[in-house]
């Protein structure tokens, strides 16, 4: 391993890379928009989404549901948490809930991530369809985020709202704002009256109306809610054990004005709610006993773990005497200034201000108050988030995971950055690029100051240190800005222990959180593109092989309970929380990027598997205005029912699911860098507009319901090589014709079949991809198998929670195809029945209980639906007699099959695994049976 570069060295490297990158801009969206320049290390180039339109079929149908969701969802709900964090009006919007709000899992510590996903989904929707509604929604969100960043850059400003008498000051929940009163506000008062109008908007216990003190020893406070939910006043000079308190008897209503008052004098305290005395008690301490305290706050507690008051304040007054009950009563219907008590002589705030951070004191003392944030101000003007910078600051000193305290702040930053980048790339909005660039400037300003050891520790912490695909996004930003700090920032996320192990092909994945680590490798590939560092590419390639197929489920997914187990552990890890959808999304991205570097067909074989099964199957086939209806986990246990609204919504997987459903066409076609070759990677109804060659390519197909595709060339003439993917499972006669004439050559499964010619408008290429029904055993339990017809995983639909048992050899075809054993369901392509159980494609997004795996059970030897009555013996490794016979398929004719049966019988009889008479019976059965070709 080369010695790590110093930060100065990183900057020099970044500057050189930027100078050599040759930044270019081209049409990337429906109108002229900024395009990312393709790295010179890519031997292939992708097409823009606008260049590939989807035709009728399963992809277009699934996408329509998501397009409608993106068109109709109220984006102000997404922006609520951003506006709240900046102390702006949330316009009455309600945060989506789940992970996207303050009341969700882990106190909403991931809030903001979903907005980034939604921006990317809108950008891809606009890029794919050109529908202006998506661009308009992007513009409105960028408007809001620009306003949010501006508000965060400055001191908080009063948010004036209608009050009890005039204007009130609102502290939006999530703004962490409070009112800071000057020192000495209590003076040396021996008696005091506190009076405030409050309108709470949240039911958090111990949120303070006021708290004057020096930490947690000397203080007096008035809380809107105690542990029982009722108001409480307390005064102490010896901490919580010494509190002298008064407690109310009823909870304050939310979203309604309530008047609270406390009088202390002559050793007695009285608590009033809405003019009525609700508690009397001895209060032998007086305010003067506290002395001069440093923290005099409205809305904030001296106990740092207590919540900040959420709601509005109106008319806060303090008098240096105990008002009478009559004077308190008069405050219910009059401003203090118009009441017998008059304005407070210690302090008096009417909260009539509507701008700025200052509240005027109407008392003779002129102790003007200031609106502040509990977390101060951002450390850099580029900061943009839906929560305080404290999440990022706290991570820097953490040594172990606690997502209830810090939950992946840099992961959330990635989603916001990616959404802004995509907004810029598809709409050419310079403000989105400015926000993205500023966000990375802020990250660099924080992280570049930290020691390398701190960074390594941070990125190694489970969950809290997760940063998603941030490196990839930062590299993409650097390709647009050329700023050396941005490339230097990308390298600050290197997790050397993981990179070095994978570069050396040392598998260290057991026990790691899957989705925390998969996107690291897409970032490493982009770093390789930017820096040329070989270990990044080697690590990514080796990592991919550590996951596929050794930690992969049949549908293409990976992880159980979000984590990986040892190599080859598949059957042993099946649970209700297998195959996290984000993992499939990120494995597709990684496979795609690897294919740009070297055209190993295995990457596209995997891409087809995961896309046509898990990704399609993770989206419910239902329209919904409020939810994207995408799975988090896809449980593979027997009888599992998919949950399309997991964890109350707005999870990471629903975010990536929105993205997946609006870019189904992004890998159907690739082109060689010099435009001499066109790759057809997927058979999908679509039309490619290849502007550089002046042609179109239209695929007409209902694949995978149809076993093949027809490609029609449109436009002028162009000479290039057409490379058609031959799936690794396509061993049953892949054929290609051009204008009705068969193309010579032998297509090899798991390769690309090349057709070179000068193409002309009207040329027709017909690709025949015959499917066979096959099984895929799990590596750690060969009898536990999944069923595939061509690229499609067929799942049994059954409510049974025990593994189903099936035999498949009883009517196998001479080709080795197991399909004749099943009975097709008329009018429903890819649907079959076996032993009364329906099998259906995994990609159908239903809520039927399914079995993605079944237990293979071939108790008796049979051929062509003719039973022999002989038990099907097995070897110690689990291989049965029938397994060994059918391993020789395809058979050219019945005689070849019978010959295979006879030789297998002889071997098994010699090994003592089959009786001689039983062997004769088996051979006679094979001879007498009839077979499908």
pLDDT tens column, 853-889:
999 999 999 999 999 999 999 999 889 999 999 999 9
pLDDT of residue 878: 87
Q: Distance between CA atoms of 912 and 7, rounded to whole angstroms?
A: 71
pLDDT of residue 80: 97
Alpha-carbon distances, residue 349 vs 91, 188, 288, 346, 764 (angstroms): 25, 20, 22, 10, 80
Residue 933 CB partners (closer than 8 Å, separation 6+): 813, 814, 815
227-245 per-position pLDDT tens digit = 999 999 999 999 999 999 9
pLDDT of residue 34: 67
58-75 per-position pLDDT tens digit = 999 999 999 999 999 999
pLDDT of residue 5: 36
Query: 16-52 burial by CB neighbour count: b if 16+ within 10 A, else e?
Result: ebbeebeeeeeebbbeebbbbeebeebebebbbbbbb
pLDDT of residue 33: 55
* pLDDT band of 91, cuts 50, 70, 90: very high
pLDDT at residue 9 tops 60: no
pLDDT at residue 756 tops 80: yes
Tokens of 806: 């099936």
Give CB contacts under 8 A, 24+ apart, made by 305-309: 306/206, 306/207, 306/208, 307/202, 307/204, 307/205, 307/206, 307/207, 308/171, 308/175, 308/176, 308/177, 308/178, 308/207, 308/374, 309/171, 309/178, 309/198, 309/200, 309/207, 309/208, 309/209, 309/224
Helix, strand, coil shares, percent, the chain, to 5: 35, 20, 45
Domain spans of the chain?
A: 160-373, 669-768, 774-928
State phi, psi for 917 to the nearest 5 degrees.
Answer: -65, -40
Beta carbons within 10 angstroms of residue 706's beta carbon:
16
pTM, whole model, 2 decimals? 0.94
**669-768: CATH class:** mainly beta
Q: Which CATH architecture has domain 160-373?
A: Sandwich (2.60)
Mean pLDDT of the chain: 95
């Amino acid at each position: 391993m080369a010695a790590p570069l110093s930060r100065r060295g990183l900057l020099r490297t970044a500057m050189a890379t930027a100078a050599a990158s040759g930044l270019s801009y081209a049409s990337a969206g429906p109108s002229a928009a900024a395009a990312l320049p393709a790295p010179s290390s890519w031997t292939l180039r992708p097409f823009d989404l606008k260049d590939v339109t989807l035709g009728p079929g399963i992809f277009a149908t699934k996408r329509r549901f998501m397009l409608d969701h993106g068109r109709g969802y109220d984006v102000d709900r997404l922006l609520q948490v951003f506006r709240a964090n900046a102390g702006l009006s949330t316009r009455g919007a309600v945060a989506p809930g789940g992970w996207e709000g303050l009341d969700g899992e882990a106190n909403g510590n991931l809030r903001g991530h979903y907005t980034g996903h939604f921006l990317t989904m809108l950008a891809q929707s606009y890029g794919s369809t050109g529908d202006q509604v998506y661009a308009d929604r992007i513009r409105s969100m960028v408007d809001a985020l620009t306003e949010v960043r501006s508000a965060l850059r400055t001191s908080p400003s009063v948010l004036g709202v209608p009050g009890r008498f005039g204007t009130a000051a609102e502290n939006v929940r999530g703004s962490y704002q409070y009112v800071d009163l000057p020192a000495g506000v209590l003076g040396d008062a021996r008696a005091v009256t506190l009076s405030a109008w409050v309108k709470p908007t949240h039911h958090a216990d111990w949120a303070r109306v006021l708290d004057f003190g020096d930490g947690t020893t000397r203080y007096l406070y008035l809380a809107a809610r105690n542990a029982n939910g009722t108001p409480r006043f307390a005064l102490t000079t010896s901490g919580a054990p010494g509190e002298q308190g008064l407690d109310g008897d009823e909870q304050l209503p939310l979203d309604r004005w309530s008047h609270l008052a406390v009088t202390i004098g002559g050793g007695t305290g009285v608590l009033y709610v809405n003019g009525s005395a609700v508690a009397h008690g001895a209060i032998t301490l007086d305010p003067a006993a506290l002395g001069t305290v440093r923290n005099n706050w409205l809305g904030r507690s001296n106990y740092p773990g207590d919540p900040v008051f959420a709601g509005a304040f109106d008319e806060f007054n303090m008098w240096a005497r105990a008002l009478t009950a009559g004077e308190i009563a008069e405050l219910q219907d009059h401003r203090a200034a118009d009441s017998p008590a008059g304005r407070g002589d210690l302090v008096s705030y009417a909260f009539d201000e509507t701008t700025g951070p200052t509240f005027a004191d109407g008392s003779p003392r002129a102790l003007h108050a200031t609106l502040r944030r509990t977390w101060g101000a951002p450390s850099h003007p580029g900061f943009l988030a839906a929560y305080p910078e404290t999440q990022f600051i706290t991570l820097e000193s953490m040594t172990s995971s606690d997502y209830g305290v810090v939950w992946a702040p840099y992961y959330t930053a990635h989603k916001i950055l990616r959404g802004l980048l995509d907004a810029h790339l598809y709409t050419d909005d310079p403000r989105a690029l400015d926000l993205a660039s500023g966000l990375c400037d802020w990250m660099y300003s924080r992280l570049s100051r930290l020691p390398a050891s701190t960074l390594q520790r941070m990125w190694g912490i489970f969950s809290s240190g997760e940063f998603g695909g941030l490196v990839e996004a930062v590299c993409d930003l650097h390709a647009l800005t050329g700023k050396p700090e941005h490339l230097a920032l990308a390298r600050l996320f290197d997790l050397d222990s993981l990179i070095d192990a994978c570069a050396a092909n040392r598998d260290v994945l057991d026990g790691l959180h899957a989705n925390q680590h998969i996107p690291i490798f897409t970032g490493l590939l982009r770093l390789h593109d930017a820096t040329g560092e070989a270990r990044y590419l080697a690590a990514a390639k080796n990592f991919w092989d550590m996951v596929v197929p050794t930690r992969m489920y049949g549908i293409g997914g990976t992880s159980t309970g979000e984590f990986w187990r040892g190599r080859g552990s598949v059957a042993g890890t099946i649970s209700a929380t297998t195959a996290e959808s984000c993992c499939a999304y990120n494995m597709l991205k990684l496979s795609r990027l690897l294919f740009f570097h070297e055209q190993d067909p295995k990457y596209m074989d995997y891409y087809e598997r995961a896309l046509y099964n898990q990704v399609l199957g993770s989206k419910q086939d239902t329209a919904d205005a409020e939810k994207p209806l995408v799975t988090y986990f896809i449980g593979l246990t027997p009888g599992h029912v998919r949950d399309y609204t997991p964890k109350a919504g707005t999870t990471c997987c629903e975010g990536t699911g929105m993205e997946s459903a609006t870019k189904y066409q992004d890998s159907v076609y690739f082109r060689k860098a010099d435009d001499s070759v066109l790759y057809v990677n997927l058979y999908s109804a679509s039309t490619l507009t290849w502007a550089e060659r002046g042609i179109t390519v239209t695929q007409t197909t209902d694949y995978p319901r149809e076993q093949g595709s027809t490609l029609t060339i449109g436009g002028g003439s162009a000479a290039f090589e057409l490379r058609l993917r031959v799936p690794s499972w396509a061993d049953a006669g892949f054929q290609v014709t051009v204008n009705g004439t068969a193309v010579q050559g032998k297509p090899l499964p798991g390769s690309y079949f090349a057709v070179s010619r000068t193409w002309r408008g009207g040329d027709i290429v017909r690709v025949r991809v015959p499917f066979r029904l096959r099984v895929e055993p799990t590596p750690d339990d060969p009898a536990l198998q999944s069923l595939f017809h061509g690229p499609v995983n067929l799942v049994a639909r059954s409510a049974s929670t025990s593994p189903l048992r099936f035999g498949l050899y009883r009517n196998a075809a001479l080709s080795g195809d197991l399909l004749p054993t099943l009975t097709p369901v008329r009018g429903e392509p890819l649907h079959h029945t076996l032993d009364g159980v329906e099998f259906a494609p995994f990609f159908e997004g239903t809520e039927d209980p399914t079995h993605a795996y079944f237990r293979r059970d071939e108790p008796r030897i049979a051929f062509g639906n003719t039973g022999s009555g002989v038990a099907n013996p097995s070897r110690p490794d689990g291989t049965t007699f029938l397994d060994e016979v059918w391993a020789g398929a395809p058979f050219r004719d019945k005689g070849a099959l019978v010959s295979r049966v006879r030789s297998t019988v002889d071997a098994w009889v010699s090994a003592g695994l089959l009786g001689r008479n039983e062997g004769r019976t088996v051979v006679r059965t094979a001879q007498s049976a009839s077979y499908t070709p």
